[in-house]
Amino acid sequence: MSNSTYRWVIVAAGGVLGCVAIGGMFSLPVFLQPIAKDTGWSVTGISSAMTIGFLAMAFTSMAWGTATDRFGPLPVVLTGSIVLAASLALASQAPSLLAFQFVFGALVGAACAAIFAPMMATVTGWFDTNRSLAVSLVSAGMGMAPMTMSPLAAWLVSGHDWRTSMQIVALVVGAIMIPVSFLVRRPPALQGDHAEAVSENGEPPMSLAQALRSPQFIILIATNFFCCATHSGPIIHTVSYAVTCGIPMVAAVTIYSIEGFAGLGGRIAFGLMGDRFGAKRVLVSGLLLQAFGALAYVFAHQLTTFYAVGAIFGFIYAGTMPLYAVLIRENFPLKMMGTVIGGTAMAGSLGMATGPLAGGLIYDAFSSYAWLYIASWAVGIGAFLIMMTFRPIPAARPTAVPAPA
């Protein structure tokens, strides 16, 4: 199979791996009440495993990315797939809340991080054209998780106890992810004899230390942190906010589904726009729109309004996320993609970890979620202003080849 064809196999593999991995982690909300009823553990204690998971993703993303640069993506995503399946199986046997928090939080979160940054780095290296679309399709696969793995978990737990259901999820995760991992390959430019020539292809001559100290990297991680902090609170607390507005829980949960469906369209639309108008221009516009999308929730009180705002907000925030990887590929050498994308993923995961806590503190202080969305708007404006300062790294000029005499 030619490279031009196989690159789409890489996209498909990334989408499937991301969908199943994120789905395994995000099965926790489905299992939350059954675990609490069966064990007597507090809902807060069980759900905090999710926050621990985000932190574990943050603190392992860069290490997995660096391992990808050094050893290639296959051993990294294969290890992550095995660890994820094993961790879910172990979590189903957890004898205590502390053990559950460690296994489901730390191990599952770290295993998911072995998929996201390595696959994004790999896909950007396989594409010179349609790069934004390719990265967005992988991201769309990850966005399918709430529509595939979560319903599977819900169906299982309706007929089995939570421990058996989680074991079946672990089996499904292993059965899909481990074989798919073997489809993942290094980008052609990093294979064999090509690896030494990569730095000569018009890429900036740059060491890893220079890259990590560059204003461009610092701006990207700061922007991604504030971007994820902007949508983290609204994603996690909107269902609770809708319930406080008098909307029944069963209907309120569907707002999250609307956001998810809209996000699939947003990823693909932003990817196409990124290829046409440039990733930076589309990302800056998306960050500004995201801030006002978060603010719009303040004015939502009826289910129809929640649906409208949720669709717009989901479309925008999901669309912006893949563009960071495209910008990184345009500005940093291919040989360090894993490390640099891992660094921005770390910042994004830390941003995501702020939402559950900040939303809870704001609600407890004001007995209202309005200030959460106002704060999210302010943070979103911050992300927009930071990204406005981004200036591309000048490309190295290839050495001119003398014309034959």
DSSP for 346-392, written as a single string: HHHHHHHHHHHHHHHHHHHHHSSSHHHHHHHHHHHHHHHHHHHT--P
How many angstroms separate the CA atoms of 180 and 185, rounded? 11
Same domain, 158 and 269: no
pLDDT of residue 405: 43
How many angstroms separate the CA atoms of 144 and 18, rounded? 9
| Tally of domains in the chain | 2
pLDDT of residue 190: 80
Segment 285-314 mean pLDDT = 96
The answer to whether the beta carbons of residues 390 and 219 sit under 8 Å apart is yes
Nearest to 317, CA basis, from 196, 244, 230: 230
Same domain, 248 and 155: no
How many angstroms separate the CA atoms of 83 and 111, rounded? 6
pLDDT of residue 220: 97
Burial of 404 per CB tally in 10 Å (0-12, 13-18, 19+): exposed
Tens of pLDDT, residue by residue over 31-40, are 888 998 999 9
Instruction: Band the pLDDT of 158: cuts 50, 70, 90.
Output: confident
The answer to whether the beta carbons of residues 30 and 160 sit under 8 Å apart is no
pLDDT of residue 202: 53
Token output for 204: 């900036």
Same domain, 371 and 331: yes
Token output for 141: 């696969």
pTM summary value? 0.86
pLDDT of residue 193: 53
Whether the predicted pLDDT of 199 surpasses 70? no
Is residue 403 assigned to a domain?
no
Same domain, 84 and 213: no
Whether the predicted pLDDT of 279 surpasses 80? yes
Instruction: Give the domain CATH number at 357.
Output: 1.20.1250.20
Is residue 387 assigned to a domain?
yes
What's the chain's average pLDDT? Answer: 89
Same domain, 182 and 263: no
Decide: helix, strand or coil at residue 191: coil
Considering 135, 152, 186, which residue would you say is the last residue of a domain? 186
Whether the predicted pLDDT of 300 surpasses 60? yes
Place of tokens 């992988």: 138
Helical spans, DSSP H, in 182-214: 208-213
Token output for 88: 């879910």
Instruction: Band the pLDDT of 200: cuts 50, 70, 90.
Output: very low
Is residue 172 assigned to a domain?
yes
The answer to whether the beta carbons of residues 362 and 369 sit under 8 Å apart is yes
Considering 155, 186, 217, which residue would you say is the last residue of a domain? 186
Segment 279-286 mean pLDDT = 96
Range from 49-53, 96-100, 354-358 that averages highest in pLDDT: 96-100
Segment 210-232 mean pLDDT = 95
- Between 52 and 198, the more confident residue is 52
Instruction: Band the pLDDT of 403: cuts 50, 70, 90.
Output: very low
pLDDT of residue 28: 86
Same domain, 239 and 271: yes
Non-local CB neighbours of 248 within 8 Å, separated by 6+ positions: none
How many angstroms separate the CA atoms of 221 and 320, rounded? 14
Whether the predicted pLDDT of 44 surpasses 90? no
Considering 186, 217, 245, which residue would you say is the last residue of a domain? 186
Same domain, 357 and 306: yes
Measured at the CA of 335, the angle between CA 331 and CA 336, to 5 degrees, comes to 65
pLDDT of residue 368: 86
Instruction: Band the pLDDT of 142: cuts 50, 70, 90.
Output: confident
Q: What range defines the domain where residue 341 resides?
A: 207-394
Instruction: Band the pLDDT of 204: cuts 50, 70, 90.
Output: low
pLDDT of residue 337: 93
Place of tokens 């989901």: 314
| Region of residue 6 (left: phi > 0; alpha: psi -120 to 50; beta: else) | alpha
Segment 142-164 mean pLDDT = 87
Token output for 355: 């939402």
Is residue 230 assigned to a domain?
yes
Same domain, 262 and 177: no
How many angstroms separate the CA atoms of 398 and 400, rounded? 6
Is residue 274 assigned to a domain?
yes
Same domain, 11 and 155: yes
Range from 45-54, 284-293, 395-404 that averages highest in pLDDT: 284-293
Same domain, 130 and 1: yes
For the chain, how many residues are written? 405
- Between 68 and 235, the more confident residue is 68
Burial of 212 per CB tally in 10 Å (0-12, 13-18, 19+): middle
The distance in angstroms from the start CA to the end CA of the chain is 39
Is residue 368 assigned to a domain?
yes
pLDDT of residue 150: 80
Whether the predicted pLDDT of 291 surpasses 70? yes
Token output for 237: 């607390």
Is residue 404 assigned to a domain?
no
Same domain, 235 and 131: no
Same domain, 7 and 66: yes
Is residue 237 assigned to a domain?
yes
Segment 118-141 mean pLDDT = 92
Token output for 27: 């099965």
pLDDT of residue 402: 45
Segment 157-180 mean pLDDT = 95
pLDDT of residue 194: 53
Nearest to 383, CA basis, from 252, 302, 299, 288: 288
Largest CA distance in the chain: 84
